[in-house]
Structure 1
Amino acid sequence: MAKVAQPTTGFVNNGTLVQIGANNTSAQWDYISVPNPAAPWRILIEGDLPTTSTTPSMSVTFFEGKTPLFSASGTWQTQGQSSQAALKQNWKLKLKNADTGNKLALRIGDWFPMTSVTLKGYGTDRTLVRDSLTTAIWRDMRKNPDGVMAPLSSYQYFDGTDLGTHTSALFTTAGFPVELWQNGVFLGLYVLRSPADLPDYLMDEDNNQHVLIQPQHAGNIWTGTFNSTEWTVQSPAISGYADQDDISTTAPAINAACARIVKWFGDCVAGTVDARATYWQYIDLKSFLDYVLICELAGSFDSMQNNFELGSWNASATSGIWHMWLYDCDETWGLIINVGGAQSDADQIGWVMENPNNYGFQNPGFFKLMHSVFRPELRARWAELRDAGIIDAASIKRWIAEYVGFIDPTMMAQDLANWLLTGPTGSINVAQNLEKESVSYIMNYAETRIAWIDAQWGYSGA
């Protein structure tokens, strides 16, 4: 085993612990706040590399430029389902205060504190741009026009505990690129991504009506049958529940609440229920409209039976309004599993949520229905977001340019040397889409896709 260096903890500035008085106790702190990155981050780990079956101990120091931010001890492991079989894997660092032995909570900017740090390798998207870009645009969409991403009642729920200071809730993930070094050797470029834990969704795990579920390639989602083994139930807390267990007997009330919304989806798709006449009893339409629009914009064919969050703050077997939230968007902006060349370009794919070519092997189901039943609302919402400058090619190009400014080109060259562009480093064989592995391709895709959708819906500007 590699030698594990003794780490320090507490906020660090220019290599020295901040002194707040004669008896500075920062080494005893189990909570650290650091600002959003102003310069590239470098993460140095001392310890053995994890495997899919090992979780070795490590020490880690975080740097911004040449300035050390903080150090910690802990363990690390592989992260994510698809990463298990990938060459360039994702990692999760579980942080501890080396002095106290307690979990060490890290707060970055306005993210919620986290005791584990997720590093995404994005073997599929070697630019490291697509996931962060998509969720950033979607957050801006959700905030338009009133500035909040959820009903005020969901914020007010926490008034009695923290005066409703949950207003930084993201309802998705955010991320920024970092360098990762292991035992003094450059391991690769990764994206440090927020974990999207329950606080990010304003969920109280002890409230049985606060239900948050995520499909895992849920084949029955549009047939009207809720099969809990095809879903991850993240909220509420269920005693004895293991990921994707059948909850029909262990949590029948929660199972019934989930079954209600999935049955409505299925009935609408089957045509036995009028979606337009009944939607207000089941879904927050605006969140569903925005979800369809971001998937159309970004070309996300992996988001129909997979990779979204479905949640409600008042779910029961007989009532409740459900919201749709975005998750995991690396297979976007021209990357489609088993589809290469020009056929996955922005002006060739057609409507994603109608999916006539069965790209990604997912059934669009209710989302396809929205294109016919709620087409007027989709067109109006698109125009609103275009008029507001939220969906805008120039803005997207500026965002990408600022984001990749945190990547050292020499480190990108080394990343490509470590993880070649000739094989399946992720769920898509990168060699199939070499021309799409550039930031210029994504910029051009955004401009072309916006123009294509504008033409379909007759948008000509404010």
Structure 2
Amino acid sequence: MGDGSLAKVSAPTTGVISNGGLIQIGVNNTADQWDYITLPKPSQPWRILIEGDVPTTSTTPAMSVSFFEGTVPLFSASGTWQMQGQSSQYANKKNWKLKLKNSATGNKLLVKIGDWEPMSSIILKGYGTDRTLIRDSLTTQVWRNMHAFPTGLLAPLSAYDYFRDADCGMHASALFSTAGTPVEVWRNGAFLGLYVLRTDNDAASYLMDTANTEHLLIQPQHAADMWTAAFNSAEWDFPSPDVAGYDTGDDMSQLAPTVNSAAARFVSWMQACVAQRTDIRSTYRDYLDLGSVLDYVLIVELSGSMDSLVNNWMAGSWNATPASGVWHFWPYDEDVTWGLTAPVNGTAADADAVGWVCGNQSHADHSPGFFNVIFNRFRPELRQRWRALRDAGIIDPRGITAWITSYTSLIDPAAMEMDLAVWSINGPNGAFAIAPNLYKQSLAYVLNYVVTRIAWIDAQWGYSGS
């Protein structure tokens, strides 16, 4: 044993040491030195614990927040929180946005969950209308499965390759819409409610370089007469490109006339097609990515999304100028779907009763406009695409049911009981009649809608299997 001295091994400066449940963090592995955190996709219910005053329409109070998976702590952060979205102003169960910061550095704290894009804000959607918390996440997930077939990509290869020099084009996780996971939210030790932690819907999610003036991303905000009235940029949002001084609702024709003209070119062409001043079949290749709008119409029809005709969609182009540019369509904000619609209520909105959403006898309170033109003029292509997606098992009751059950398994039934006790299903928590739609607030209804709606479309288009 020599001189009897014990051999020594240096204590690790990275990693963790568990001492009876007490986790000690090495000096070079402290969370407060990082401005970027990565987390796995939830495999059990998440809890978000917030301490701070409740925001109002005019306040963004400071808060402290900790994230847990089950009872295992993930991370903590400081920051502020505020109401999120237009609907929060009128609903009792509001949406929240948490803006996280590193308490040690004061920098923004980016959070990357699984394969989602890193987020600088945490969006918590209350879905006062859809208390199942399923519909929005389900719709965008089904659309992604559809649109990625058969290439496996959600955009042209050139859109990914655009970032080759910057980061080798590592943007395969761009969602081209939103995704979500259910979470429990507690405030000051009391249960606040069940929410959906939803991804950002920023320009990066659409592979847009906001410094490139030809990378245009637009969203209708208050353009109810978009299919007939002259283009008015104040009725649209322009997440891309970045324009100095711009805020949603501003007149883009004054701030960036070229950007305004590029968007107006596309919208004006759609209006001309609606008014039958322009033949869409002979002109669409100069304006439109046909595959994207076919998939958009199909997801609208499959989910019965009546609120997606003059709202709740995004359009974008990577080569938009006042004289050229091809545009793509993407769905967004899809919680008023799968039988839970307005203005049609009760059984009239059920899967086999609501009829075509984009068709000539649409029951929607907004004109299907351009989507009706696609529905009529490209009917053979729509039917062919439906058949291809059905044959490939992309649109399939079993696969969609499996996704729904996997998603809802992250919701503790006891937590749902608590949520319904705190936030009763009533008018202030929804946008339309409650009584005739109450039976739609269940997992079983959504599952039945999926099966019935697929069968209904099959029957209309004569699909009977491959």
TM-score (normalised: structure 1): 0.95
Residue 92 of structure 2: SS of its match in structure 1? coil
Within 2, Cα distance between the matches of 1:129 and 1:182? 23
Residue 135 of structure 1: SS of its match in structure 2? helix
Contact 2:15–2:29 (Cα < 8 Å) also in 1: no
Please state how far the C-alpha of 1:179 moved relative to its aligned partner: 0.1
Residue 455 of structure 1: SS of its match in structure 2? helix
The answer to whether the aligner puts 1:181 opposite 2:186 as a matched pair is yes
The answer to whether the aligner puts 1:300 opposite 2:298 as a matched pair is no
Q: 2:239 aligns with which of 206, 230, 234?
A: 234
| Code of the aligned partner of 1:306 | N
Q: 1:88 aligns with which of 85, 88, 93?
A: 93
Within 1, Cα distance between the matches of 2:346 and 2:242? 45
Q: 1:460 aligns with which of 439, 459, 464?
A: 464
Q: Deviations over 1:68-100 (max 9, x none)?
A: 000000000000011211111000000011111
Within 1, Cα distance between the matches of 2:88 and 2:33? 35
The answer to whether the aligner puts 1:221 opposite 2:226 as a matched pair is yes
**Greater CA drift, 429-438 or 371-380:** 429-438
Matches within 5 A, 1:128-139: 128-139=133-144
Within 1, Cα distance between the matches of 2:27 and 2:361? 69
Within 2, Cα distance between the matches of 1:446 and 1:388? 17
Residue of structure 1 in register with 2:399 after alignment: 395
Residue 145 of structure 1: SS of its match in structure 2? coil
Please state how far the C-alpha of 1:399 moved relative to its aligned partner: 1.1
Q: Deviations over 1:247-277 (max 9, x none)?
A: 1121100000001001110111111111011
Contact 1:423–1:431 (Cα < 8 Å) also in 2: no
Residue of structure 1 in register with 2:216 after alignment: 211
Q: 1:426 aligns with which of 426, 430, 435?
A: 430
The answer to whether the aligner puts 1:375 opposite 2:370 as a matched pair is no
Within 1, Cα distance between the matches of 2:174 and 2:38? 17
Unmatched 5+ stretches in structure 1 = 1-9
The answer to whether the aligner puts 1:192 opposite 2:197 as a matched pair is yes
Within 2, Cα distance between the matches of 1:301 and 1:346? 13
Please state how far the C-alpha of 1:217 moved relative to its aligned partner: 3.6
The answer to whether the aligner puts 1:264 opposite 2:249 as a matched pair is no
Please state how far the C-alpha of 1:357 moved relative to its aligned partner: 5.0
| Code of the aligned partner of 2:431 | S
**Greater CA drift, 413-422 or 374-383:** 413-422
Contact 2:145–2:394 (Cα < 8 Å) also in 1: yes
Please state how far the C-alpha of 1:28 moved relative to its aligned partner: 1.1
Residue of structure 1 in register with 2:120 after alignment: 115
| Code of the aligned partner of 1:425 | N
Residue of structure 2 in register with 1:417 after alignment: 421
Please state how far the C-alpha of 1:242 moved relative to its aligned partner: 1.4
The answer to whether the aligner puts 1:438 opposite 2:437 as a matched pair is no
Contact 1:224–1:265 (Cα < 8 Å) also in 2: no
TM-score (normalised: structure 2): 0.94
The answer to whether the aligner puts 1:170 opposite 2:175 as a matched pair is yes
CA RMSD in angstroms comes to: 1.7
Q: 1:363 aligns with which of 357, 363, 367?
A: 367
Residue of structure 2 in register with 1:287 after alignment: 292
Q: Deviations over 1:402-437 (max 9, x none)?
A: 111000001100100011123330323433411100
Within 2, Cα distance between the matches of 1:18 and 1:269? 65
The answer to whether the aligner puts 1:62 opposite 2:67 as a matched pair is yes
Within 1, Cα distance between the matches of 2:243 and 2:444? 46
Residue 424 of structure 1: SS of its match in structure 2? helix
Contact 1:12–1:70 (Cα < 8 Å) also in 2: no
Please state how far the C-alpha of 1:395 moved relative to its aligned partner: 1.4
Within 2, Cα distance between the matches of 1:316 and 1:134? 31
| Code of the aligned partner of 1:332 | T
- Sequence identity of aligned pairs in percent? 60
Residue of structure 1 in register with 2:3 after alignment: none
Residue of structure 1 in register with 2:155 after alignment: 150
Residue 424 of structure 2: SS of its match in structure 1? coil
Residue of structure 1 in register with 2:357 after alignment: 352
Residue of structure 2 in register with 1:277 after alignment: 282
Larger radius of gyration: 2
Within 1, Cα distance between the matches of 2:113 and 2:439? 34
Contact 1:11–1:69 (Cα < 8 Å) also in 2: no
**Greater CA drift, 335-344 or 188-197:** 335-344
Contact 1:302–1:331 (Cα < 8 Å) also in 2: yes
Residue 427 of structure 2: SS of its match in structure 1? coil
Within 2, Cα distance between the matches of 1:170 and 1:451? 28
Q: 1:244 aligns with which of 246, 249, 260?
A: 249
Contact 1:13–1:68 (Cα < 8 Å) also in 2: no
Contact 1:353–1:367 (Cα < 8 Å) also in 2: yes
Within 2, Cα distance between the matches of 1:452 and 1:11? 55
Within 2, Cα distance between the matches of 1:142 and 1:116? 27
Q: 1:321 aligns with which of 317, 326, 332?
A: 326
Residue 308 of structure 2: SS of its match in structure 1? coil
Q: 2:260 aligns with which of 245, 255, 278?
A: 255
